[in-house]
Amino acid sequence: MIDYIRWVYQWFKGEILAIPGRVIAVVFFTFLLLLPLITTSPSTLRFLIMACIFAIFAASWDLLAVTGQVSLGHALFFGSAGYTAALINIHFGLPAWITIPLGGLSAVVVGLLAGIPALRLRGFYLSLVTLAYPVILTGIIFVFPDFFGGEMGLIGISRLSGSRVGDYYTVVLIMAFSGFIMWKLSDAGSKVLRTGVVFHAIREDEIAARNSGINTVRYKLMAYAFSGFFGGVAGGLYIHFIRIAGPSSLEVFFSVQALLWAVFGGMGTIYGAIVGVFILFPLTEYLRIYEWGEALRFVIVSLVLIFILLFMPEGISVWVLDKIEIRCRRCKVVNIATRRNCRTCRAPLRLEREK
C-alpha cells in the first residue's frame, strides 16, 4: 500500500509537477471542480456549462484540423447530433445519458458521409464544400417542419440532470474526459496510440504518408468519425441543457466560431481550442453586460483576436508554453524553462555560444 502511494506520488511528480503546461491544466480542472463550493449562482454556472460545451465543440473541430482539413461547417455535427438526441428523447423518452451517445453516433455516420468529398478535395476546396453541409441540413429541417419543429425548433426535451450543479459537474467531467481522449488521439508524442503521428504525417505531406504505408483514406475517415462523435456529444449536451433543438445551432457563424476559438488558442493542439474557448467566450459574454457591448462585442472580440494573433501567430497556448517549457535536445523530455539542466539526462538545456 505504502509502495503504491509512493509510486503514485512519483508518477505525479514526474509526469505532472515537472511539466508546467500539465500543472496549469490540473490546476484549472481542480478549480472548475471546486468552483460550486464558492458560488452556486445559476448565471455563473450556466455560463461555465456553455463554455465547457463549446470547448468540446472547438476541440473536436481541432481534431479534424490536425489532419490538415479545415472545416467551415462543423456545426453540422453539433446540429445533427442535437436533433437526433432531441428526437430520441421526445419520441422514446430515453434519458440524456443514452441520447447523447446516440447523438454522437449519428454524428459519426454524418461525419463518414461528410468525409467522402474530403477523399478527393484538399485545402480551400474542401473548406468550401464543408461550408455547404449545415446549409443542406437546415434545408432538410425546413422541408419537414412537423417532424423537426421548423423555425421554432423542438421543445419538451428532458433535463440533463436534476439540478444546475448536477448539470455543471456532468458537463465539466465530460469536457475533461473527451478533451483528454482527443488530445491523446492527436498527440504525436504518444507512446500508446499511433493516430497522432499518422494525423500529423497526413497534414504535413499526404503523398509521403501514403508512401510510408499509411492508408490515408482510412485515417481521414477516422478523423471525421472521431471529430463527428465529440462534436455530436457537445451538440447533445447543448440541447439537453438549453432544452430546445433549433436551427440556430446550424448557422454559418457558429461553425466559424469553432475555427476562431481553436486558431486563437493554438491550432492542432486540442488544449489550445479549450484555452481559446475559455478566454474568448467569457469575454464575449462579459461585454454583453454593458449596453454598448451587445452591439459591439463581436467587433471588440475580433480586434482582440487580430492583435493577439499578430504577436502570437501560432495561438496563445503555444506561445505561452514556448515561454515556460523547454525541451531537452538530447532526450526530448519537457522541462520547466527555469532549469539549466535536463531533469532526466542532465544535459544542459541552453548552450553558451562559443567565441
Check if the beta carbon of residue 274 is closer than 8 Å to that of residue 59. yes
Contact status: 189 vs other proteins (CB under 8 A): no
Residue 354 in the binding site for other proteins (CB under 8 A): yes
Contact yes or no for 178/230 (Cβ under 8 A) = yes
The Cα 270–Cα 268 span in angstroms is 6
Question: How many other β-carbons are positioned within 10 Å of the β-carbon of residue 118?
Answer: 21
Selected binder of other proteins within 322, 330, 345, 347 (CB under 8 A) = 322
Q: Is residue 151 close enough to count as binding other proteins by CB under 8 A? A: no
* Amino acid symbol at 228: G
Nearest to 285 by CA among 79, 35, 38, 49: 49
Near other proteins by CB under 8 A: residue from 314, 336, 339, 344: 314
DSSP class of residue 14? I
CB closer to other proteins out of 201 and 318 = 318
Can residue 13 be called a binding residue for other proteins (CB under 8 A)? no
Q: Which stretch binds other proteins (CB under 8 A): 96-104, 129-137, 315-323, 339-347?
A: 315-323
Q: CB of 286: closest distance to other proteins in angstroms?
A: 26
Helix axes 164-186, 20-38, angle to 10 degrees: 170
Q: CB nearer to other proteins: give 340 or 355.
A: 355
Q: How many residues does the chain have?
A: 355
Minimum CB–partner distance for residue 311 and other proteins (Å): 5
Task: Identify the bridge partners of residue 244 per DSSP, sorted by sequence position.
Answer: 155
Q: Which stretch binds other proteins (CB under 8 A): 23-31, 152-160, 248-256, 307-315?
A: 307-315
Taken in order 129, 130, 135, 141, is the CA torsion positive or negative?
positive
| By CB under 8 A, residue 4 contacts other proteins | no
Is residue 197 within the footprint of other proteins (CB under 8 A)?
Answer: no
Member of 53, 318, 328, 334 binding other proteins (CB under 8 A)? 318
Other CB atoms within 10 A of residue 33 CB: 14
* Contact window for other proteins (CB under 8 A) among 65-73, 87-95, 213-221, 318-326: 318-326
Q: How many residues in the shown chain lie near other proteins by CB under 8 A?
A: 14
Among 312, 324, 333, 336, binds other proteins (CB under 8 A): 312
Burial label, 69 (beta-carbon count in 10 A; 0-12, 13-18, 19+): buried
d(CA 226, CA 255): 17
Kindly tell me which of 24 and 256 has the beta carbon lying closer to other proteins: 24
- Rounded Cα gap, residues 121 and 112, in angstroms: 15
Span from 23-31, 51-59, 144-152, 317-325 in contact with other proteins (CB under 8 A): 317-325
Cell numbers given for 246: 433549433
175 touches other proteins by CB under 8 A: no
The SS3 of residue 113 is helix
Which one among 329, 330, 332, 346 touches other proteins, defined by CB under 8 A? 329
Q: Which of 3, 91, 311, 340 binds other proteins (CB under 8 A)?
A: 311
First-to-last CA distance in the chain?
55
Q: Which is nearer to other proteins, 91 or 340 (CB)?
A: 340
Where does this chain bind other proteins (CB under 8 A)?
A: 310-314, 318-319, 322, 329, 350-351, 353-355
